Amino acid sequence: MSPSVRNIIAWILQVILAILFIKAGVDKLRDIDGITKMFEGLGFPGVVGIVVGVAELLGGIGLLIPRTVRPAAIGLVIIMVGAMVMHATKIPGGIAGGAFAAALLLGLIVVLLLRRNTSTRA
């Protein structure tokens, strides 16, 4: 795949993921009472829900800034792995209910692969 095609695909995916994560973060921060209760129901301190909301918001913004794409994607991967574990173990509906989280995780992994440093490869 040529570097220009790779770049175009990466940017399209980054923008889509950024919109989704920014929206998710804003939604969590708009309903702080609801999100803290939900996280407490999962066995976490309520503040974890706020931290996740802020991380999703900042991570989504980070996907749009060339210098921060990889760190933002790595941070969001960690959040999405946590979401998958919660869907598999504590959230009703099981792993099937986490299909959207799995799709986001896959998208982030693709971004990381597309944005890996290709100049050091042999």
pLDDT digits (tens, 9 = 90+) for 34-64: 999 999 999 999 999 999 999 999 999 999 9
Residue 117 has pLDDT above 50, yes or no: yes
The answer to whether residues 10 and 38 touch, using CB atoms and an 8 Å cutoff, is no
Residue 27's CB is within 10 A of a number of other CB atoms, namely: 14
Residue 66 has pLDDT above 90, yes or no: yes
Residue 39's CB is within 10 A of a number of other CB atoms, namely: 21
pLDDT averaged over the chain? 92
Specify the DSSP class assigned to residue 68.
G
Q: How confident is the model at residue 98 (pLDDT cuts 50, 70, 90)?
A: confident
pLDDT, position 120: 46
Residue whose tokens read 């929206």: 23
- Which amino acid appears at position 1 of this protein? M
The answer to whether residues 84 and 102 touch, using CB atoms and an 8 Å cutoff, is yes
Specify the DSSP class assigned to residue 67.
G
Residue 103 has pLDDT above 90, yes or no: yes
pLDDT, position 43: 93
Per-residue tokens: 122: 């042999």
pLDDT, position 122: 40
Give this prediction's pTM.
Answer: 0.90
